[in-house]
Structure 1
Amino acid sequence: MTILFQQQWDEWHTAHEKRRADPHGFLAITSLNWLNESPQRFDDAPGSWSTGPSGVVVSLADGEELVVDGVAVTGTHQFAPLAERADIAVGWGKVVIEIARRGGFDVIRPRDPSSPVLAGYTGTSAYPADEKWVVPGYFTPYESPRPTPVGSVSEGIEHVYESPGTVSFSVGGDELSLIAFNGATPGSLFVLFTDATSGLTTYAANRSLFIAPPGPDGSVTLDFNRATNLPCAYTEFATCPLPPAGNKLPVAIEAGELKPQ
């Protein structure tokens, strides 16, 4: 392994850990609250919350206020309807209230920098970085993107992701393939998967891997050293998707992040 490869991995993992430990990141979540048409109050958020076809509504009592788009609001406030997997953040002192739509339901999740989970977080170990786990592959697009339903760590919730195609590659002589989803940046992809290490040395439910945009010939690179845990590996207040049925690899991917201790 070259010194440069190790240095680049160290820099990547340090940056990833910094994002994970953000004061208002998912480690700071203190509850997951599912909204319906009946107003509800929660111990770790101000106001009474409900939702309906016109969006989420909060009714704040005397002396309560939220900061929405930099403006203090009191009384009753109506939020616009959210698209699936969309979210907004509003302020309540040092706490950020996340308002989100997951699996067809509206939720709120307070994010408190003094969360015990965040305060107790000491980092995530990983397999030693190894260039043998930088694997060449090939992206095969579908004729048209396919809506792909997947399960969730939250019982009764189903997520639907748009899959543009599959990624094929080889590990130890085994020809493998994963259903890919559109990534966060234009042209990029990501895959959710489990493998023979899942539940043993790595998190049982899922791991995620970002893949840079395919080349003109469809070539891609899967750097399994950068396979990461999703929020559900750390908090019960996550709604993470599970891998598609076809993304259960029969081989051991001994690379990337280990399960939290």
Structure 2
Amino acid sequence: MTTTGTDIRTEHAAWRAEREEQLRAPHGWLSLTALHWLDDGPGDIGSLPGTWRVADADTVEITAAAADGVVLPGTAGPLDGSAQVRPVDGAPGAMVTVGERIVEIARRTDGYALRVRDPQAVTRTAFDGVPTWDFDPGAVLTGRFTAYDEPRRITVDAVVEGLQHFPTAVGEVEFELRGGTRRLVALAGKDGGLSLHFRDATSGRETYGGGRILKTADPDADGTVQVDLNRTVNLPCAFTAYATCPLPPAGNALDVAVEAGERTPPRPDLV
């Protein structure tokens, strides 16, 4: 069955609406208001009640009174005393509720951080959509995926100096763009499919300097994969100073401009 241009545009519009609805989530990336790095000191953290400290190499300890309203995940009521959590490096952190805020306890490399998510953050309340290039049917490309013999755990730097991420590279995707063959290292998608994290000639100009990401469906059995550059999106660090995003894998820098997908978003917190 042939997909018409109208069908493609309608599908893209629905995808964009869903993308922006996710960004507007009360405790999504736009709600971040702080990033606190923990140590084994007294544990007083800004406006947060109680104390939050590193107890040992694998554990963060929280101490609070019931009146503080600190609720740990999986518990029915507020903490009254001390409790410990053990976040995993690179994984989503433990989400602790403090009133209408959520405090994510995350482990990154050898450190622990608290990310405060507040629905009243100006980056969320002032959000009015992400600037994008107009949908371009010509930016919907057919690529070819070549899998590695075995997945490879690679090391990439982060937007926060001194941090590293360790994604899994599963192969490479080739596609034709602007008269040449382009090749990108493909990472394993968190929910299946592939993740192409790259910089291009727009990075640091029309788009965020740390690169953008394009997620694809699983390749067909013969390696064919759709590369829809219209769905290239910003990482959280383009919207907030309180994310710890990875940088692209070595070599994932295109020398041509990918004028499709999301542009640099406005930053009301910097105004």
Unaligned segments of structure 1, at least 5 residues? none
1:180 aligns with 2:186: yes
Moved more, 59-68 or 146-155: 59-68
Tell me how far apart the structure 2 counterparts of residues 140 and 116 of structure 1 sit (CA, whole Å): 43
Unaligned segments of structure 2, at least 5 residues? 267-271
Tell me how far apart the structure 1 counterparts of residues 234 and 92 of structure 2 sit (CA, whole Å): 21
- Give per-residue Cα distances to partners, 1:187-233, cap 9 Å, x unaligned: x1101111111122111211011011011011111101000001111
1:128 offset after TM fit, Å? 0.6
Runs of 4+ in 1 over 6 A off after TM superposition: none
Identify the match of residue 149 of structure 2 among 124, 143, 147: 143
2:63 is aligned with what amino acid? Answer: S
Matching residue of 2:22: 19
1:248 aligns with 2:253: yes
Q: Secondary structure at the match of 1:30?
A: strand
1:81 offset after TM fit, Å? 4.4
Matching residue of 1:49: 52
1:3 aligns with 2:10: no
Matching residue of 1:231: 236
Matching residue of 1:102: 108
Matching residue of 2:69: 65
Q: Secondary structure at the match of 1:243?
A: coil
Identify the match of residue 207 of structure 1 among 204, 212, 223: 212
Q: Secondary structure at the match of 1:78?
A: strand
Alignment identity in percent? 37
- Give per-residue Cα distances to partners, 1:7-31, cap 9 Å, x unaligned: 1111111110111111101111110
Q: 1:110 to 1:44 in 2, by over 3 A?
A: farther
1:62 offset after TM fit, Å? 6.5
Identify the match of residue 259 of structure 1 among 259, 264, 268: 264
1:85 offset after TM fit, Å? 2.3
TM-score (norm 1): 0.95
Tell me how far apart the structure 2 counterparts of residues 80 and 199 of structure 1 sit (CA, whole Å): 36
1:229 is aligned with what amino acid? Answer: N
Matching residue of 1:168: 174
Count of aligned pairs between the two proteins: 260
Moved more, 205-214 or 48-57: 48-57
Q: Secondary structure at the match of 1:139?
A: strand
Instruction: Judge conservation of contact 1:234–1:260 (CA < 8 Å) in 2.
Output: yes
Matching residue of 2:269: none
Tell me how far apart the structure 2 counterparts of residues 225 and 45 of structure 1 sit (CA, whole Å): 40
Tell me how far apart the structure 2 counterparts of residues 54 and 155 of structure 1 sit (CA, whole Å): 22
Identify the match of residue 84 of structure 2 among 67, 70, 78: 78
Matching residue of 2:199: 194
Moved more, 197-206 or 225-234: 197-206
Tell me how far apart the structure 2 counterparts of residues 81 and 221 of structure 1 sit (CA, whole Å): 35
TM-score (norm 2): 0.91
